Amino acid sequence: MLKSNYAPMNDHAIGENTNSVTGVAAAKFCSFGLVASKKWFSCFVVIGEGVVKVYDSEESYHNNPMNHVLLISLSRNHRASEIKRKNYSQESRSSKDFYCFYIEVENGLFSPTRELKLGFLNERTAESLRQAVNSNSRGI
């Protein structure tokens, strides 16, 4: 049996309450608008109240919500890109289709600067979190 290096990303990973949308994701960091990570890492994403918080696990979020790995304060210039489906392989023997989008900031003159790339095995989860980014970045 092959061991997977991908995060378990099922439909039940989506959590929604009145203030935020959460989900298990795979992520790659971006630097100067370019993807800087070679490998995907498993994370727990919380989007709400004008911020995106990335944690190393859901357990970390519940035990110490102030101990996030990354915090992006969303302004009206932030947006989530369109979702693209792409096949990725972290191991030479297996590959997975990810539904991915970028959290990016519009600069006006140049193309948007990418801040974080998020990937999901489930398209519905990706769309839910993408919409949460866009709705939390309006009017701030």
Asked whether residue 113 is domain-assigned, the answer is yes
Tell me the sheet residues that pair with 52.
Answer: 47, 72
Q: What's the pLDDT at 29?
A: 93
Q: Total structural domains in the chain?
A: 1
Q: Is 106 within the bounds of a domain?
A: yes
pLDDT tens for the chain, 140 residues long, are: 333 333 344 433 445 444 689 999 999 999 988 999 888 999 999 999 999 999 999 999 999 999 999 999 999 999 999 999 998 776 657 788 899 999 999 988 888 999 999 999 999 999 999 999 999 997 54
pLDDT (tens digit per residue) in 88-119: 776 657 788 899 999 999 988 888 999 999 99
In a domain, 9, yes or no: no
- Mean pLDDT score across all residues of the chain: 85
Q: Residue 26: which of 45, 47, 2, 53 has the closest Cα?
A: 45
- CA 40, 116, 29 angle in degrees (round to 5)? 50
Distances (CA, A) of 17 to 48, 57, 78, 108: 10, 19, 22, 33
Report pLDDT for 94: 76
Q: Which domain holds residue 42?
A: 20-136
E strand spans, 1-93? 15-16, 20-31, 34-35, 41-48, 51-55, 70-73, 78-80, 84-91
Residue 25 is assigned to a structural domain of this protein: yes
pLDDT of residue 95: 80
- Let me know if residue 71 belongs to a domain: yes
The rounded distance, in Å, linking the Cα atoms of 140 and 67 is: 24
Residue 7 lies in a domain: no
Task: Output the domain CATH number for residue 120.
Answer: 2.30.29.30
- Is residue 4, in this structure, part of any structural domain at all? no
The pLDDT assigned to 54 comes to 97
Give which of 137, 106, 132, 129 is closest to 43, Cα–Cα. Answer: 129
Residue with tokens 């990303």, as numbered in its chain: 9
Domain contains 72: yes
